[in-house]
Amino acid sequence: MAQSATVHTFAIELADIDRGVYETLELRVARQPSETADYLLTRVLAYCLEYTEGIAFTQGIAAGAEPAVWVRDPTGQITAWIEVGLPDADRLHRGSKLAGRAAVYTHRDANQLLTQLAGKKIHRAGAIPIYALDRRFMAAFAERLDRRNVLTLSVTERQLFLEVAGETLNCTLVEHRLA
């Protein structure tokens, strides 16, 4: 019998000072059996850091042709294609052509991703930011993951301050670009 997805809920107080975004988010996120805690939490952080009207989680790992997160305008047109982890060049190329903007959030080694993508055909490659989250930060966040999560996320000058389970974790969001 196949395993089913586990649903995690996140009550998030978001204060993204860098972008002037202040929201209270209530998210229900399905974690597929093949999905690591780090990947799930990177999806959640990408959602928060990209939060705007029209943002939504896709089926993620369960739907191979979709990014982890996307933004659609009121007409249904995709305006942002947000990948998580180590996406391949073909996915980024397709997403960058389809949407007005693409970005990657990775909990993995950013240098590995940059090497993997170097020299590949990717539409507007230089315009795609690759945001790296510190592995220790992600590991500490994953240790505190529960089915029901209450978080406070503050972002200022690319510094992330995350309050979870009574503790504050922090890291710098490091931006890389493809050459």
Neighbours of 132 (CB within 10 A): 21
What's residue 147's pLDDT? Answer: 97
13 in a domain, yes or no? yes
Domain count, the chain: 1
* CA–CA dist 145, 148 (Å, integer): 8
- 49-85 pLDDT, tens digit per residue, is 999 999 999 976 666 789 999 999 999 999 999 999 9
1 assigned to some structural domain? no
Tell me which of 34 and 40 has the higher pLDDT. Answer: 40
**58 within a domain of the structure (yes/no):** yes
Q: List, for residues 110-145, the tens digit of each pLDDT value.
A: 999 999 999 999 999 999 999 999 999 999 999 999
Q: pTM for this structure?
A: 0.95
CATH code, domain carrying 42: 3.10.640.10
In a domain, 106, yes or no: yes
Residue 1 has pLDDT above 90, yes or no: no
**Structural tokens at position 162:** 């995350």
Instruction: State how beta strands 148-156 and 159-164 pair.
Output: antiparallel
Supply the range of the domain harboring residue 139: 6-177
pLDDT of residue 61: 65
